[in-house]
Structure 1
Amino acid sequence: MEASVDFVSLGMAIMDEIRSPSQPPHLDVLGGSGIYSTLGYRLFASRTATSRVGCLVLLEAWNTNLVIKVDEERLSTRGLLEYEDDTFGPKKFQYKTPPLKTWPAHLINTPLLGAKAFHFFATAEEVTKQHGLKERPLIVWEPFPTACAVQNRQAFMKACKYVDLFSPNHLELSAPFENTPSKAFQPEKLEIYASEFSEAMGRTGNGIVIVRAGEHGSLTVQAPDTKTWLPPYYSKGAKEIADPTGAGNTFLGGFIRGWNDTYDTAEASIYGNVAASFAIEQIGLPSLKHEDQKELWNGVDVMGRHSEYKNRPRW
């Protein structure tokens, strides 16, 4: 292990069962917010810097800085994801075993505790505790979906004071403001809601809100007046899309890497959208191989895809 770690996700690792009407079920698919956000960050790590990406589960093929924690009294987290049709739109998710969550306290006496950035997948109450962090790294909060509700709005605002980046998807962002969120996509309202959270965030009141909006792309807001919309790498219905599971988490990991590299919200969003494209080309995680001193994910050079996307006309 290296003593210096740039990023650790405290999201979950889940063994998923994925069902859709026209396909046989896919069993034991490795996923979860922790796995996919780590993927997003790892995609942009050079071969000489992979061990600066921290990970709490067994992903040896990615050459990450690995810590293994075993709880003999608990079952691994398992989930059931069911799509209602073949458009990857309406879906239901449920845990088949109680979720296993990780906190900085689990990293005591490991290099991972000193990471420069931490990703939390948590409720408002959980993220305010931060469970053992002694320094002040970059804190990234992805809210627990079922906690996104009107009655928790003030708790969310309070929790935002403890974080630097807040990243709900567009439905999770609307839920604390609307008792019955509209099914229509409303970008103007999303900008207003995101600005309210941004103004409440961090030590300076100008934190970054990253709204992951699926087929509608991404919105990044930083108070008082920075608002950036970018399209997804693949448009809706693209033949390359096999399963959108994990795309938002992967976007977030890529965004964090882009922010660490550039400190520019638009540039970081480009990283995020490129990262998400690798999550949706297959069921589960993309393949990694090495060829001529290059890493190829699904046979593609990541920075080559980054350059191609960056040079496209924007909205």
Structure 2
Amino acid sequence: MRHDPSRLTTRGWNGYSASDHRAFRYTTPKLRLTAADLDATPLLHARAIHIICSPTRCRELVTDILSRRRRSARDSDGSYSRPFIIWEPVPDRCVPDELLNCTNALPLVDICSPNHAELAGFMGSDGLDPATGEISAAAVERSCEQLLASMPLQSYTLVVRAGEKGCYIAKNGGRKRVSAAKSKSGGHAKPRKKEYVQGGLRPDTDMEALFAGLMQDEEGVVAREEIEVDPGIEKWIPAYYRREEESGSTKVVDPTGGGNTFLGGLAVALARGRTIEEACAWGSVAASFAIEQVGVPVLGVDEHGNETWNGVRVEERLWEFQGRLL
């Protein structure tokens, strides 16, 4: 998409301490993609989109991508469909001062997936157990609870990647998003978008209008009869590779790329109609292939002509992992 023989990619350096704490720095200037770069490419109509950026840029990107997607569908007489949006907050913006911007970005995405340190950064902590220096599962759960409890009017999903502890799914109960097809199935005329009250509370604030504004969908329609209750989810999905309790050994060779590979597997599963729990299992298996060697997995073919990664069929590893989760 960017044709520049002298700059093929953005490059960076990863470093890990003995306790697996990660350090990162860019070694070349960043090549920033914009929504305009997706125009006239199949990527504009992808079924799932993974973005890595600050909370403020997340809102700008998602709004622009969806606008261009609608315009493209209209110009080609095609139907508009909303992609799954998976947002990974960029580490240097995971600070308490960005927490409000984070909550403002959540309504625009389907899944927010920070790692344990990035989530803790929004809350002003490191997310580690002070006694052991390891990732604290309790801190992950507490941070998710605090973040989602502040947004009770709608259901939001967090998938927190926590290294060898796996990932934690936190989805608060609230109003489910209703698809356009379902909301129009009743045959009612589409309400005209209203300019509802926004901003801070005042003694004369019209509370009914205020909450109606908060309940608008992206087209300005207020859902009333279509409201459904979401029970929410609080669940850990283990990592594929776990440290051996007796020896302390692990088959993880290099964790670089594990997070992105996890989210790639998760995105594919969601695009194929899997549940969030199933999608996280797909992500864990995908990540396992990325971290069991330095560099990328070795692509091969078995005696039956089936594709293998590092000599293993992906489907077989997924089936084995799903069996562990039963």
Answer 1 or 2: which has greater helix percent. 2
Does residue 110 of the first structure (1) align with residue 117 of the second (2)?
no
Does residue 188 of the first structure (1) align with residue 134 of the second (2)?
no
Superposed CA deviations along residues 93-152 of structure 1, whole A, max 9, x for unmatched, are 111111112233102111211112111011111111114432432111001011000111
- RMSD of aligned residue pairs (Cα, Å): 2.4
Q: What SS does the corresponding residue of 1:175 show, helix, strand or coil?
A: helix
Structure 2 segments unaligned to the other structure (5+ residues): 70-81, 130-134, 174-231
Answer 1 or 2: which has greater strand percent. 1
Q: Counterpart of 1:133?
A: 66
Q: 2:2 aligns with which of 30, 53, 69?
A: 69
Q: What SS does the corresponding residue of 1:81 show, helix, strand or coil?
A: strand
Give distance in 2, aligned partners of 1:175 and 1:268: 25
Q: What SS does the corresponding residue of 1:76 show, helix, strand or coil?
A: coil
Q: 2:120 aligns with which of 166, 174, 188?
A: 174
Question: Share of identical aligned residues, percent?
Answer: 36
Give distance in 1, aligned partners of 2:114 and 2:104: 16
Does residue 97 of the first structure (1) align with residue 22 of the second (2)?
no
- Aligned residue type for 2:104: K
- Aligned residue type for 1:84: S
Deviation at 1:249, TM superposition (A): 1.4
Give distance in 2, aligned partners of 1:290 and 1:198: 45
- Alpha-carbon spacing, 1:210–1:313, altered in 2? closer, same or farther (3 Å): closer
Q: Counterpart of 1:273?
A: 284
Give distance in 2, aligned partners of 1:91 and 1:74: 26
Contact 1:160–1:200 (CA<8 Å) still a contact in 2? Answer: no
Deviation at 1:263, TM superposition (A): 3.6
- Aligned residue type for 2:311: G
Q: What SS does the corresponding residue of 1:312 show, helix, strand or coil?
A: helix
Structure 1, 73-82 or 112-121: larger mean CA deviation: 73-82
- Alpha-carbon spacing, 1:235–1:128, altered in 2? closer, same or farther (3 Å): same
Superposed CA deviations along residues 153-206 of structure 1, whole A, max 9, x for unmatched, are 00111111211110000111111112x4353133234224324545678xx721
- Point out the structure with max Rg over C-alpha: 2
Give distance in 2, aligned partners of 1:164 and 1:199: 17
Does residue 80 of the first structure (1) align with residue 13 of the second (2)?
yes
Q: 1:211 aligns with which of 160, 178, 203?
A: 160
- Aligned residue type for 1:82: G
Count of aligned positions: 243
Q: Counterpart of 2:317?
A: 305
Structure 1, 298-307 or 73-82: larger mean CA deviation: 73-82
Give distance in 1, aligned partners of 2:300 and 2:2: 27
Q: Counterpart of 1:264?
A: 275
Q: Counterpart of 2:191?
A: none
Superposed CA deviations along residues 41-77 of structure 1, whole A, max 9, x for unmatched, are xxxxxxxxxxxxxxxxxxxxxxxxxxx4214685732
Give distance in 2, aligned partners of 1:263 and 1:313: 16
- Aligned residue type for 2:312: V
Q: What SS does the corresponding residue of 1:268 show, helix, strand or coil?
A: helix
Give distance in 2, aligned partners of 1:313 and 1:71: 46
- Aligned residue type for 2:292: E
Structure 1, 75-84 or 212-221: larger mean CA deviation: 75-84
Give distance in 1, aligned partners of 2:54 and 2:12: 19
Deviation at 1:242, TM superposition (A): 1.3
Q: Counterpart of 1:15?
A: none
Contact 1:198–1:205 (CA<8 Å) still a contact in 2? Answer: no
